[in-house]
Amino acid sequence: MTETTPSTETQPANPDFTLGSSHVLLTGGTGFVGQAVLERLLSTHPDTRVSLLIRPKSRTTGEARLQTLLKKPVFKTWRETVGEAEVERAVRERLSVIQGDLANPGELPGDIDVVIHSASTVSFDPPIDEAFQTNVDGATGIYGALLASGSDPHVVHVSTAYVAGMRKGVSLEAPLAHEIDWRAENAAAKSARRRVEMASRQPEVLKKLLAESRSKLGKVGPQAVAQDAEAARIEWVTKRLVEHGRIRAESLGWTDVYTLTKAFAERAAEELWGTAGHRLSIVRPSIIESALRHPVPGWLDGFKVADPLIMAYGRGQLPEFPGVPDSILDVIPVDFVVNAILAAAVTPAPVDEPNYYQVVSGARNPLPFHSMYENVKEFFTKNPMPHDDGPIQVPSWRFPGGRSVERTLRLQERLADAADSAVARMPSTTRTRAWTQTLHQRQRGLQQLRYFAELYRAYVQTELIFDDRNALALHNSIPAELKADRGFDVVDIDWHDYFQNTHFPSITGLTKAYANRPAGRARAKRALPVRSDVLAVFDFEGTVVESNLVEQYLWVRLALIPKAQWPQEFASLMLNVPKYLRVDHRDRGEFIRTLVRRYRGIRVDELQRLVKGQFGAAMLGRAIPDALDRVAQHRAAGHRTVLVTGATRSAAEPFAPYFDEIVAGEMHASKGVMTGYLATPPLVDEARAAWLREYADKHGANLTQSYGYGDSLADVAWLQLVGNATVVNPDTELYRHAQRTKWTVEDWTRRSSDRQVLPANLAVLSDKHKPAEPEASEEGGRSSGSDPR
């Protein structure tokens, strides 16, 4: 076969180069390539009937998914050209849905003339069992169902050029040369899931995962820890199955599990169909990107293979990359791929002699990786991505080599982790939260760089050239008057023009579209809705008042003892602060219980007097103005405002006029003297969440419309129950959680930025309000300031 003269095997079945009145079965019709194939069948092959294998999703039927599909942009030109009446007729008379999935497609019609099998996994690195299930079981399922149906169609099996694997030189348009038992590999891939699942449930694995979850979420509660540990176990399984696929692929000579399973799918197609008395054509495109011409220049259905890498560079997230500058990046527009698929469908292969077509660009219109980089840099230099700090300046790559990039990446990862650990130990302020966000973005960028470096290494360091003589002969078999519309000769592509004026504007346009989605926009401040079935629940310490439990205890205790004993009490408290911090980090309820022990021996009437007097005034003096303003707004909107504290009522009582209700714990007392114990368990973390559910049910409140305000990671358990969660001046851990969950973060103004360990408010506690020296007794001694522990 020559490069310019088609052989007898590449003569079209119909002179008009259409499929005539063929009945076509299309798999993968909701995917990127499948959408474009369906559009071409509808617009260019008007007499065909098309059956689409579509998997129902949740409660959405296959028919409903087809109706949604036909409203997508790829069909816009066709709809406008033929009119809605013809669209309705085509849907009614030409299209039908077969509900099923690839592995179990169900019963297929017995009159199918052509099958276009374009469905496959869209990820390079799925777990090994999922890759085999989609690509290999999907192929065997389709061919098995075809054999059972009695149909004898010409099958066009869409594969990838990268089934050639890790090799150098020319990859021919021919069957792959390997003797691997793909059935045994398929069985092993399925058993990998069982083995890894069993390993993930071993005590040594679970202990480690539980310890990590307790360290992160101990303050939130035991159920949060358990849920996080289980999520971590599932992630552990997924990561190992992904690694299993990557390593097994490399050990057999392929770049990744995607190309490995696509190669095995080809072998299944050959054995079950192409050499078993039927007709088979295998189409192998390279990296598929946006359309050059049809249906419109730049058409793309979301980011494809190279696009995340391009956009990461445009965002300044890839300071360097381990690519070989003179390696060939083989890219092909999607309309060229679709034209080749349909040209192959029009040109049936002989029985038992499969055709192979590689729809590629590297052999006759090569794109070196350095040229791709220069195009990307040129575009983003002229059209920089916006940022809060101004337009992003893209980096210049020097291509130092993979080892140098790896060393630099490891160093940057260690530095970022060390900085993140240091910031996590600092008090939460506006500045430290900004540092946290910057470090989070930096770590995410490094993770992305490592992911891209590992994922794309084989594609940007390849020394493989794909032969495309069969594809060229197929292109040349297209009638001359149709080549401009239905051809796919890669020499027609001007790469600079394609990237600068078609592809890059298309993918950056997608980015702007994503950024402008309603869910992606920052919520505009608006008036609170007026309704009576809404709760506004406020945490107390750190949210409504700029104070903490240690300060509150110190205020009370120093007000009740002579000044001469203040240093002793203060020293005792300070010695225990490290312990309190450790306990608070582990469990908020345990911290409250530990601190309440220090109230032992204080008389109830003395505490009540302080709350009604100077201590209450001191607490009100620590109120956060923005918090009280927000409470007033909620009350004006008819919402039920509730102040909740996991500690005792004494500190919150002065705020009763601002709220509809205060929910707090009580300290146990005996004969008018506090025992140092709580009367009820502290209302924190998951206990507060349980209370909130019951409270909402009791008051007929709609939690999905309600509001919650908190400042600590311990508040996550109940904040996630309300539809409008706001984190206020959050600690570092809660801030990170809010960033992940897209909760609103607000900085509420404090009265003073200068925190004092010894509150200035103690000056108002005059000596006349202090009791006389306590009598020397065991209980009195304990209350005078020494730490009984």
CA distance 284 to 686: 55
Q: Quick one: what percent of the chain has pLDDT higher than 70?
A: 85
Rg (CA), the chain: 34
Which DSSP symbol is given to 637? T
pLDDT category of residue 11 using cuts at 50, 70 and 90? low
Residue closest to 157 by CA, chosen among 328, 26, 288, 63: 26
pLDDT at 408 over 60: yes
Q: Could you say which DSSP state residue 771 is in?
A: P
pLDDT tops 70 at residue 706: yes
Q: Is residue 713 scored above 90 in pLDDT?
A: no
Q: What is the mean pLDDT of residues 706-714?
A: 92
Identify any residues that bridge with 520 across adjacent strands, giving them in sequence order.
none
pLDDT tens string 616-634: 888 888 899 999 999 999 9
State residue 437's pLDDT score. 66
Judged against a pLDDT cut of 70, whether residue 81 lies above it is answered with yes
743: tokens are 């909760």
Instruction: Please check the confidence at residue 6 and state whether its pLDDT lies above 50.
Output: no
DSSP state letter for 520: G
Least confident of 122-126, 156-160, 195-199, 223-227: 122-126
Beta-ladder partners of 60: 57
HSE, side-chain direction, 13 A CA sphere, residue 261 = 32
Residue carrying structure tokens 């079209």: 12
Q: What is the mean pLDDT of residues 554-561?
A: 86
pLDDT digits (tens, 9 = 90+) for 495-531: 999 999 999 999 888 776 445 544 434 444 568 999 9
Question: CATH says 535-783 is which class?
Answer: alpha beta
Q: Which residue has the higher pLDDT, 479 or 4?
A: 479
Q: Nearest to residue 291, comparing CAs of 90, 553, 434, 488? A: 488
1-192+259-286+332-363+467-488 and 535-783 share one fold: yes
Q: What is the pLDDT of residue 230?
A: 96
Q: Report the candidate in 151, 184, 488, 219 with the shortest Cα–Cα distance to residue 332.
A: 488
Least confident of 406-420, 568-582, 765-779: 765-779
Q: Stretch 308-321: mean pLDDT, rounded?
A: 80
Three-class HEC string of 572-616: HHHHHHHHHHHHHHHCHHHHHHHHHHHHCCCEHHHHHHHHHCHHH
Better-scored residue on pLDDT, 771 or 437: 437
* 548-553-557 Cα angle (round to 5): 155
Q: What percent of the chain has pLDDT over 90?
A: 52
pTM score: 0.76
Domain ranges of the chain: 1-192+259-286+332-363+467-488, 303-329+367-462+501-521, 535-783
The predicted structure's pLDDT at residue 433:
65
Burial class (CB in 10 A: 0-12, 13-18, 19+), 677: middle
Confidence of residue 696 (pLDDT cuts 50, 70, 90): very high
What is the domain class of 1-192+259-286+332-363+467-488 according to CATH? alpha beta
Residues 503-520 as b/e (b if ≥16 CB within 10 A, e otherwise) read: bbbbbbebeeeeeeeeee
What is d(CA 738, CA 703) in angstroms, rounded to the nearest whole number? 19
**Contact (CB, 8 A) for 154 and 279:** yes
Report the DSSP pairing between strands 169-171 and 287-289: unpaired
pLDDT higher than threshold 90 for residue 120: no
Q: Which whole number is the average pLDDT over 741-762?
A: 61
Average pLDDT score, the chain: 85
Distance CA 328, CA 320 (A): 18
Residue type, 601: G
Which of 10, 124, 130 is CA-nearest to residue 470? 10
pLDDT band at 758 (very low <50, low <70, confident <90, very high): very low
